[in-house]
Amino acid sequence: MDRSDEVASSAAPQGDGAPDPSAPEQLPVDSYLDTDGSAAESTGATVVSDPDDFRATLSEDRERYMRLAAEFDNYRKRSARERHEAGARAQGDLVKQFVDVLDDIARFAHIDASTVSSATVVEGVEMVEKKLMKALGTAGLETINPVGEPFDPQRHEAVATEAASTSEEDHTVSKVYQQGYVFNGQLLRPARVVVRQFNG
C-alpha cells in the first residue's frame, strides 16, 4: 500500500461508517439567520435551528424594549412635573411670609399725610423694615455688614480705601456703603466697602 492509500484509509470512517465520537463537533459558525429566515454569511455568528423561535425571541425583545422606553419617558415627564410643582410650592411658601408685610406697606401707602406726623411715618417704616427682614431671615437671607472685619474678596467689593492707623487694621473694612446679602449660602450681592491700608 502506497502513501496515498494510507492517507485515504485514515480519513475514511471507522467501523460501521459512524463519525468518530472523540472528534470535535463541527458547527456552522460562519452564518446567521436573516429576518426572512434565510442564512447569510457572517463571521462569528451561529445558525438558529428554528426560525420560528428566533422570530418569537426577537418579538419579545422588541416589546420589552418598547415597554422600557415608554416607562422611562413617563418617569422623565413625571420627574419634570414634580420638580416644577416643588419649585412652585417653595415660591408660594416664600411669598406667603411677605403677605403681612405687604398689608403694612399698603396701609402706609394710603394714609392721609395731613393727619399723620412725619415721626409716625418713620416709626411705621422702621416697623415694616423689621418685619420684612425677619421674614427674609426665616426664608434663609443673611446680611453682610462687615465693619471691622478682614476684607474678603469673595463676599466684599472694595469701592475705596483709606489709611489705617496701625498695622493691625491693615486690610480691614472701615465702612460699608451698601450691605451685601447671602441667601441659603448663595451670594446675592457682595457688600460694597471701604478698606483700610497701612502704609507705615
Mean of pLDDT values over 12-34: 48
The three cell numbers of residue 126 are: 422702621
CB atoms within 10 A of CB 99: 9
pTM reported for the whole predicted model:
0.56
At 149, is the pLDDT very low, low, confident or very high (cuts 50, 70, 90)?
Answer: very high
Task: Identify whether the C-beta of residue 191 lies closer than 8 Å to the C-beta of residue 179.
Answer: yes
Q: What is the structure's pLDDT at 7?
A: 41
Tens digit of pLDDT for each residue in 48-88? 567 878 888 888 889 999 999 999 999 999 999 999 999 89
Q: Has residue 171 got a pLDDT over 90? A: yes
User: Within 44-117, where are the H helices?
Assistant: 51-96, 99-109
Query: Are 142 and 180 contacting, i.e. CB atoms less than 8 angstroms apart?
Result: no
For 141-200, CATH gives 2.30.22.10
Q: How confident is the model at residue 131 (pLDDT cuts 50, 70, 90)?
A: very high
